[in-house]
Amino acid sequence: MPQPDPRSTQLTHRLVPGPAGRIHLVEQGAGPLVLLLHGFPESWYSWRHQLPVLAAAGYRAVAVDVRGYGRSSKPAAVDAYRMLELVADNVAVVEALGGRPAVVVGHDWGATIAAHSALLRPDVFRAVGLLSVPYTPPGGPRPTEIFARLGGGEQEFYVSYFQEPGRAEREIEPDVRGWLAGFYAALSGDTMPAPGAPDPHFVSPGGTLRDRFPDRRPAWLGEHELDIYSEEFERTGLTGALNRYRALDLDWKDLADRTGAPIPQPSLFLGGSLDASTTWLADAIDAFPTTLPGLHASHLLDDCGHWIQQERPEEVNGHLVEWLASLPAGADGQH
């Protein structure tokens, strides 16, 4: 009786060279490459429910630690976290694994990085899946100016709060585990503050983000899961992760020549109906016929928050596998 390929059943940790030094990844399965990019503040581990399912469906599923996270390199300079650098990291992973052309799927910041990887390197990325954060083409006003106007001067938007190096770190460092638990709860469908309660995306004058975190734990976040996340960030700190926010205006300059550019490759969007990323950016979702002309499907999962692939893994997996099966064959003849 033929034996299953061990690559389809085992998680393999690897380090591959990247522009900033090293990129840590975890892979499972054999077949066409599907690159998985996490968001803030997470790690490769946020794809733990997807790796075995994609492997079983016949794909080489690879979840990376994005630059600044986990075992990947963490340059000190803010400008090392600009979008062009992160796209270059993804290209380096695909080249190291011999997986061109690849499919790229991202969640949260990873969705934005995935979208720009497809936009800037269509020769490397043949399709793109976006979770929680819809694609918005480059262009428009300077990002930090937009975020500074939110809150009406009475409170500060979290992206603006993150801009000053060291400021958010001073809030987080004394209790990384507690901060992460609160941040995850604040954006989870079953624990987020009720409508009308203080919004955890904002900071009161003289306050912190933690002031508005719920004191409950979401169903998807057990002690084991929180241990893994907190141990990673207690070891690495969050400066590398926060530097992505601090590079926004650099992206605005770097991508000025791509203003309004659509992504023509086959695409998929999945979001949570309760997630601010989908409600605040509803106009971006409505614009998909123009910005994502190759869109296969767009789904909003009822009663789901921001951490979509961890809150609702079975539904997300079903949509991902169905979409991947629909894709035309790559240059290697594989789907």
Active site residues: 108, 306
Structure letter (DSSP) for residue 215: S
Residue 217: φ, ψ to 5°: -110, 130
The first and second tokens of residue 200, run together, are: 């955890």
CA pair distance 62, 94, nearest whole angstrom: 10
CA pair distance 188, 149, nearest whole angstrom: 26
CA pair distance 233, 247, nearest whole angstrom: 20
Q: Is the dihedral of CA 184, 187, 190, 193 positive or negative?
A: positive
CA nearest to 117, candidates 93, 139, 98? 93
Identify whether the C-beta of residue 120 lies closer than 8 Å to the C-beta of residue 87.
yes
CA pair distance 94, 60, nearest whole angstrom: 11
CA pair distance 275, 120, nearest whole angstrom: 28
Question: CB burial class (10 A; 0-12, 13-18, 19+) of residue 58?
Answer: middle
Identify whether the C-beta of residue 39 lies closer than 8 Å to the C-beta of residue 183.
no
CA pair distance 264, 295, nearest whole angstrom: 8
